[in-house]
Amino acid sequence: MTTLRIENLTRRFSGQTVLRDVSLEVPSGSTLVLFGPSGAGKTVLLRLIAGALEPDAGRILIGGRDMAGVPPEERGVGMAFQNFALFPHMSAFDNIAAPLVARGVPGARVREAVEAVARLLKIDHVLAHPPRALSNGQKQRTALARALVAEPALLLLDDPLRNVDAKLRFEMRLELPRLLSGRGATVVHVTQDYREAMALGDRIAVLDEGRIMQEGSPADIYLRPATIGIAQLFGDPAVNLLDVVPAADEGVHVALSGRRLSLDPGYAHAAGRACVLGLRPEAIGFAPDPAAPDAVPVTVEAETPLNEKIVTLVVTAGGREILVSRPLGTPGPAMGPAAIRIDSARALLFDRATGRRIAPGRSAPAEAAA
């Protein structure tokens, strides 16, 4: 089977380093999501793997074979592009058939294979149409079909869901894993959508400014983000960030509107340091009893329903704005004074100077490594 290994890859464009020392390994048959903001170097990395660009340093190994100097047509990869990159002068059928034609597959078998993959992607009725006569969704499926039809061992998906409407994106997010599983292909999927990343990745590599900032399972990245930046990228509404300085008298705690919010005792080593407390909106709830010792008094300022949840903006006495999210249909406070309760076990603590997460420890102070 085909494992993708990337070793210390560096690529510069006219003096600017767009990828620096990137190393990754994607085990055979698994899906790695490359996630990051635009300009992070995701597409460049994908193009290096596809062979459209050559690295300035480092190696790419597909199935153990060093790809240096191997042209794209000999790498045996399939790729779907963000802009679809269909051949405008060919029918959808010829578009999908192109990888088979290149391999010299006889006509009857080409027809069979193209029709099979088209049925799977529900575009078998538009095979005769040229790309300009296809809807965006059909174009995207045609592009996917073309990437899949030759059963490549390594599949590169460059944000293929970016240019389709929200409904279709959601459908495809559910459908893609089904399409990919059973083919046994190793997949590298690029996206800017954290939901897509969490839904599709066996592992996620967060890329920013040409560097891998963190690599891990979706749960790892969401629950233990390596930096403030990553915490902000994952989650909607975004994580609440509060400047705090933990104190370590009678248990570790931070002060919030005059109340003590106890933290995991493992954070003792962070006492006295300038920190940022990261609170996911869903880790905060409303306190029925404002007088309870763990309740923080706030003022409810605004409320927005967001699909399956309701997001409430509250302001503490000190003027800090906090977003609270609760499931749709659960009771919430009216505008005006209320109190929130924070599930401190789910709180994240970051070093304010470096932006890195501080891992709770039992022994010597140690900063979390990426």
Partner 1 sequence: MDHRSLLERWLRGIALALVVVFFMFPILWIVLMSLQTNETILRSPPSVVFTPTLQNYAALISGRLETEAGALDIAFMSNLMNSVILSVGSVALALVLGVPAAYAFARHRFRGSEDIAFTLLSFRFAPPLLVLLPLTLYFQDLGLADTYFGLIWVYQLICLPLILWIVRGYFEDISPDIELAYRIAGHSWWATFRRIALPLAGPGIAAAGLLAFIFAWNNFIFALVLASADKQPVTVGALAFVTASGIQYGQIAAAVVLSIAPTLALALWAQRYLVEGLSLGAVKG
One of 40, 44, 45, 50 touching partner 1 (CB under 8 A): 50
**Tokens 């967060």 appear where?**
206
Q: H or E segment at 45?
A: helix 42-50
Interstrand relation of 186-191 and 348-351 (parallel, antiparallel or unpaired): unpaired
Q: Identify how many contiguous H helices and E strands the chain contains and give both numbers.
A: 8, 20
Write each residue from 130 to 169 as x if it is in contact with partner 1 (CB under 8 A), else as -, in one continuous string: ----------------x---x-------------------
Report the nearest approach of partner 1 to the CB of residue 179 (Å): 19
Residue among 22, 47, 77, 81 nearest 209 (CA): 22
Q: Would you count residue 109 as binding partner 1 (CB under 8 A)?
A: no
Q: Would you count residue 78 as binding partner 1 (CB under 8 A)?
A: yes
One of 64, 69, 71, 293 touching partner 1 (CB under 8 A): 71
> How many amino acids of this chain bind partner 1 (CB under 8 A)?
24
Stretch that binds partner 1, among 46-54, 168-176, 246-254, 282-290 (CB under 8 A): 46-54
Report the nearest approach of partner 1 to the CB of residue 48 (Å): 12
Write out the DSSP string of 244-301: E--B-SSS-EEEETTEEEE--GGGGGGTTS-EEEEE-GGGEEE-S-TTSTTEEEEEEE
State residue 188 phi and psi, 5-degree precision. -115, 120
Residue type, 157: L
Q: Would you count residue 269 as binding partner 1 (CB under 8 A)?
A: no
Report the nearest approach of partner 1 to the CB of residue 96 (Å): 10
Q: Which is nearer to partner 1, 53 or 268 (CB)?
A: 53
Q: Would you count residue 301 as binding partner 1 (CB under 8 A)?
A: no
Q: Would you count residue 81 as binding partner 1 (CB under 8 A)?
A: yes
Residue 228 CA: distances (Å) to CA of 37, 112, 118, 238, 369: 14, 51, 43, 11, 13
The encoded tokens of residue 266 equal: 């493992």
One of 41, 99, 210, 297 touching partner 1 (CB under 8 A): 99
Torsion of CA 131, 133, 137, 138, to 10 degrees: -60
Q: Would you count residue 88 as binding partner 1 (CB under 8 A)?
A: yes
Q: Which residues bind partner 1 (CB under 8 A)?
A: 47, 50-52, 71-73, 75, 77-79, 81, 83, 85-89, 98-99, 102-103, 146, 150
